Amino acid sequence: MKKIKVLYAEDEPFLARIVFDGLSSSGYEVNLALDGQLAWMQFQENKPDICILDIMMPQKDGYTLAAEIRKSDPNIPIIFLSAKALTEDVVMGFKSGGNDYLKKPFSIDELLVRMESLLKRFGHTQKDETAMVRKYEFRSCELDALTQKLKTSVGEYSLSYKETILLELLLKNRNNILEREHALIKIWGEDSFYNGRSMDVFMAHLRKLLKTEPEIQIMSLRGVGYKLIC
């Protein structure tokens, strides 16, 4: 099945990487543009199926870009990203042709949900199956991220939403580093003190659930992040 092409215009490199990774691993083909001018060029070249535009960018701001894109293709869905959340911004975004408006910080899942709903509305009926199956086997355990069930050698548990996403993230990077900051932004949309502490608590939950498995271990790399050994 052909991948859906996303044009993503964002000048903040750290955030850009996270979102890029998130979208890629959800099966989208992402073109990242680091400023508005580049974005416009990439748009003409790549003919994306959906655009995600940061408002504040060097060279050309998101509104102007959107208006240009809209003129060239009246039927492409556009999502704005913005740090500001003032009503006039929303109006502005709307006038220039945007279809949805996400205020930072946002989590990847929030963005994915909006994208899917817009794509559906604009008649892109993808949904490749791989994006729907979210099952992971590791050692004698199994996580079904859709139903939020974790099976270990001693039993089956129902996980909460955030526990599930966190474990899924660890599994996607199994035997590899999951950066703390990366996880925080993926799940909470921002890296703040309390979100960090909250994640620590979830980590403790997961460790408790998995401590029956001798071959599985969540290591922590001080100052960096975590590594799931399995």
Residues that bind DNA in the complex, under the rule CB under 7 A:
158, 160-163, 180, 188, 194-198, 200-204, 207-208, 220-225
CA 92 to chain centre: 25
Smallest gap from residue 17 Cβ to a copy of itself (A):
5
C-alpha dist (Å) from residue 217 to 22, 151, 172, 176, 214: 24, 16, 15, 12, 8
**Residue 16 in contact with a copy of itself, rule: CB under 8 A:** yes
Binding mask 29-48 for a copy of itself (x = CB under 8 A): ---x-x--------------
Half-sphere CA count of 153, side-chain side, radius 13 A: 10
Q: Which is nearer to DNA, 113 or 154 (CB)?
A: 113
Range list of β-strands (E), 2-134: 4-9, 28-33, 50-54, 78-82, 100-103
User: According to CB under 8 A, which residues from 45 to 84 bind a copy of itself?
Assistant: none
Q: Please, are residues 110 and 102 in contact by the beta-carbon 8 Å criterion?
A: yes
- 202 binding partner (options a copy of itself, DNA, none; Cβ < 5 to 8 Å by kind): DNA
Query: How many Å apart are CA 226 and CA 154, to the nearest integer?
Result: 24
Q: Convert residues 141-180 into a mask of x (bound to a copy of itself by CB under 8 A) and - (unbound).
A: -----xxx-----------xx----------xx-xxx-x-
Sheet holding 225-229, edge to edge: 177-179, 225-229, 217-221
**217 part of the interface to a copy of itself, by CB under 8 A:** yes
Instruction: Return the SS3 of 206.
Output: helix
Applying CB under 8 A, which residues contact a copy of itself? 13-14, 16-17, 20-21, 24-25, 32, 34, 87-88, 90-91, 94-95, 99-101, 109, 113, 116-117, 120-121, 132, 146-148, 160-161, 172-173, 175-177, 179, 182, 217, 219, 221-224, 227, 229
